[in-house]
Amino acid sequence: MSYKVGVFIGSLASDSINRKLAKALEKLAPPELDLVEIPIGDLPLYNRDFDADYPAAGRAVKDAVAAVDALIFVTPEYNRSIPGVLKNAIDWGSRPWGTNSFAKKPSAVTGASPGMISTAVAQQHLRSVLSFVNSPEIAQPEAFIHFTQGLIDDDGNVTVPATEDFLRNWLHEFHVFIVKVLGAQNITL
Ligand code: FNR
């Protein structure tokens, strides 16, 4: 059985190291996981005035989340939290009230930074947001990627074998988690 996994990238920078990490994940994913980016760059700033008539960009994000079985968030850390663009996208997906797109979608978080704590604080903030929108999150293994020069090239090739193995195993564990969570959701009590 294969699963579609939507990937949110929390950086719009053209040379984003988190985009490189997302590309690497796409390459290293097991055949059962089909990773596809959910673009967030065209979203206006969320404002609840939009709830009465969601614009196309907002509907596109909600439709994209609805079309996948699970989600991966690959995010930089901005000032010890997640970038506004990513929070904005989650706000769009969570509304209008009563139509939260994230509910019951299994999720995993990771991120890359040249800093020594490697997005750990941002990921913790993101976990808090994902809890509120009722997305079951894999707890372990955590994936804090300390990005050194050339760690992942522009095509998503990981140049350090230990990091490549780590990411492959992380994806394997997420696959197991998806199977468990979605399997449990099908049980009728
Ligand atoms: C940063 N950066 C950063 N790094 C970090 O480890 N912790 C932090 O709190 C911050 N804060 C921060 C704020 C802002 C506004 C910027 C622009 C940058 C550095 C950041 O990790 C680095 O720029 C990464 O390259 C960003 O990821 P992308 O955009 O390359 O994917």
For residue 159, report the phi and psi dihedrals to the nearest 5 degrees.
-95, -10
DSSP assignment string, 117-131: TTTHHHHHHHHHHHH
Which atom of ligand 1 is nearest to 114's Cα?
21
Ligand 1 atom with least separation from CA of 113? 21
Residue with CA at minimum distance from ligand 1 atom 28: 16
Cα 89 from chain centre: 11
What is the CB < 6 Å shell around ligand 1?
A: 11, 13, 16-18, 76-80, 113-115
pLDDT digit string (tens) for the chain, length 189 residues:
999 999 999 999 999 999 999 999 999 999 999 999 999 999 999 999 999 999 999 999 999 999 999 999 999 999 999 999 999 999 999 999 999 999 999 999 999 999 999 999 999 999 999 999 999 999 999 999 999 999 999 999 999 999 999 999 999 999 999 999 999 998 888
Burial 19-34 (b: 16+ CB within 10 A, else e): bbbbbbbbebbeeebe
